[in-house]
Chains A and B, each alone.
Chain A
Amino acid sequence: MAEQPIKVVVGKPGLDGHDRGAKVVARALVEAGMEVVYLGLQQTPEAIVAAALEEDADVIGLSILSGAHMPHFRRVKELMDQQGLGDRLLTGGGIIPTKDQETLSGMGVGKLFGPGDDPQMIVAYIREWVKEHPRA
């Protein structure tokens, strides 16, 4: 049987106004054979996690350029754990200092990417992660 496609929910929490980066990444994921549910701009963490739950997503990807990455990642991760999605990958991108990345990583957030990173790195990372974390 063919492997089932990886399902990714992509959202942009917070107030910053454009989603070019998120769409470029979404496109790269689709071209890599993934099924991407795109949520659009200005999503609350609650809305993102509720969508990921209904979609039974393997991965949640957040794009945050506003600088408010800490509270958003923290809150999304918290909601994921509360709602039984602790076994899914939370990843994303933005301008996130190494120190913050380490803190988030300590909370169980996955690898994060910067605006200059090749989307193929994200594709490869997600594929690898999903392979190493098969769900029951």
Chain B
Amino acid sequence: MKKSIPEDLWKAFFQGDRLACARLITIAENRKERVPELRDALANRLGRAVRIGITGPPGVGKSTLTSLLALGMADAGHKVGIVAVDPSSPFSGGAFMGDRVRMEGLVGDQRIYMRSLASREGHGGLSPSTPDVADVLEGFGMDRILIETVGVGQAELDVLECTDLVVLVLQPSTGDAIQTMKAGIIEAADLIVVNKADLPGKDVVLNSLRFLFGMGLTKKIRPVPPVMTTSAMQNEGLPELVAELEKLASVLLDSGRHADLRRARMEKEIREAISQCLWTAYDGLTGATKCIQEKARELVEKAESPYPFIRESCSRVRVQALDKEASNGHGA
């Protein structure tokens, strides 16, 4: 495969140059076609970092907490990467990213690297490039990666796909929000934080949570997650939160679950890349895109099922055709 990322950029990156890291993240973000090259070069440096999603409704203090968590983890000897995702406007494609306003304490801290990402075609959820950006940060030497989500809609579930642990952040007034939260995220959380404990009303949230878990409304596949309270504003409860997360991280690593999660993600990546690759080859050989367009029009007009066409198309595929293609030099 033709290499397109300059050698000296890699060299600077591996020597710990932050601008080189910044530029490789930009490549991960903007140049999807170069991701295989990134993966090739980074693979032997990946595997040890714990990726932690920080999710929860907007305004509960995710950015403020993330910044304090990063400092706490750095003090515990870790190098911390932060990815903060903000929504892209579906109209203009632009994005306003304000998380850094709450992360001033990180300025100039060489143990921490923070990057804002717009959700782009992630449609308000996580940016599709999030895992690749996390790879670059891990390759840069970060062993804790905090991924702050947009906190609404799909992002809550997307984050499960690319992290090892999920922290759900709530605040005293989110008692009702718990009911409207995307199904699954509460059960999926490994840790729940009720932030802004300096404000009145935290018992309401704590009671809703107790009720929820106590009623057995959640699936019993996992233990009930620990619930902690913090005040990011008054810097209270942070050492305890860092300690709890580090405990979860050690269990994850020691139990082999971390490796299982990585393997599952790798399987998915391979499956998706192969389907993409096979589709591209198939489309190139048969002109399927155009053919499907015509067929769909015809089927809709006649009110017919698409499956006879699908079955016929699949039965015509022979793997030899792709072998030949690969030996002609088109393989990756």
Q: Which of chain A's residues 51-105 have a Cβ closer than 8 Å to chain B?
A: 51, 53-56, 83-85
Partner pick for A4 among B30, B91, B100, CB 8 A cutoff? B30
Q: Assuming the A-B contacts A30-B89, A56-B26, are A50 and B108 also in contact, with contact meaning beta carbons closer than 8 angstroms in the complex?
A: yes
Q: Which of chain B's residues 235-281 have a Cβ closer than 8 Å to chain A?
A: none
| Nearest Cβ on chain B to A35's Cβ, whole angstroms | 5
Q: Assuming the A-B contacts A53-B19, A56-B22, are A36 and B107 also in contact, with contact meaning beta carbons closer than 8 angstroms in the complex?
A: no
Q: Which of chain B's residues 95-153 have a Cβ closer than 8 Å to chain A?
A: 95-98, 100-101, 104, 107-108, 113-116, 118
Q: Which residues of B contact A32 (CB under 8 A)?
A: 92, 94
The CA-CA distance from A27 to B92 in the complex, in Å, is 11
User: Are B100 and A26 within 8 A (Cβ)?
Assistant: no
Q: Which residues of B contact A35 (CB under 8 A)?
A: 88, 94-95, 97, 116, 118
Q: Assuming the A-B contacts A40-B104, A46-B108, are A54 and B92 also in contact, with contact meaning beta carbons closer than 8 angstroms in the complex?
A: no
Q: Which residues of A contact B30 (CB under 8 A)?
A: 4
Q: Which residues of A contact B104 (CB under 8 A)?
A: 40, 47
Q: Assuming the A-B contacts A50-B108, A53-B19, A54-B22, are A30 and B96 also in contact, with contact meaning beta carbons closer than 8 angstroms in the complex?
A: yes
The CA-CA distance from A86 to B184 in the complex, in Å, is 47
Q: Assuming the A-B contacts A35-B97, A40-B101, A56-B23, are A50 and B107 also in contact, with contact meaning beta carbons closer than 8 angstroms in the complex?
A: yes
| Nearest Cβ on chain A to B64's Cβ, whole angstroms | 13
The CA-CA distance from A66 to B116 in the complex, in Å, is 28
Q: Assuming the A-B contacts A38-B96, A38-B97, are A53 and B18 also in contact, with contact meaning beta carbons closer than 8 angstroms in the complex?
A: yes
Q: Which residues of A contact B23 (CB under 8 A)?
A: 56
B225 at interface by CB-CB < 8 Å: no
A12-52 interface mask toward B, CB cutoff 8 Å, 1 = contact, 0 = none? 00000000000000110111111111111000101100110
User: Are B101 and A38 within 8 A (Cβ)?
Assistant: yes
A115 at interface by CB-CB < 8 Å: no
Q: Which residue of A lies closest to B21 (CB)?
A: A54
User: Are B89 and A31 within 8 A (Cβ)?
Assistant: yes
Number of A-B contacts (CB under 8 A): 78
B93 at interface by CB-CB < 8 Å: yes
Q: Which residues of B contact A114 (CB under 8 A)?
A: none
Q: Which residue of B lies closest to A2 (CB)?
A: B93
Q: Which residues of A contact B118 (CB under 8 A)?
A: 5, 35
The CA-CA distance from A49 to B116 in the complex, in Å, is 15
B1-40 interface mask toward A, CB cutoff 8 Å, 1 = contact, 0 = none? 0000010000000000011001101100110000000000
Q: Assuming the A-B contacts A37-B97, A40-B100, A46-B108, are A31 and B22 also in contact, with contact meaning beta carbons closer than 8 angstroms in the complex?
A: no
User: Are B113 and A29 within 8 A (Cβ)?
Assistant: no
User: Are A54 and B96 within 8 A (Cβ)?
Assistant: no
Residues of A within 8 A of B (CB): 4-5, 26-27, 29-40, 44, 46-47, 50-51, 53-56, 83-85, 136
Known: A37-B100, A38-B100. 6 other contacts (CB 8 A): A27-B96, A31-B92, A35-B116, A39-B101, A46-B108, A47-B107
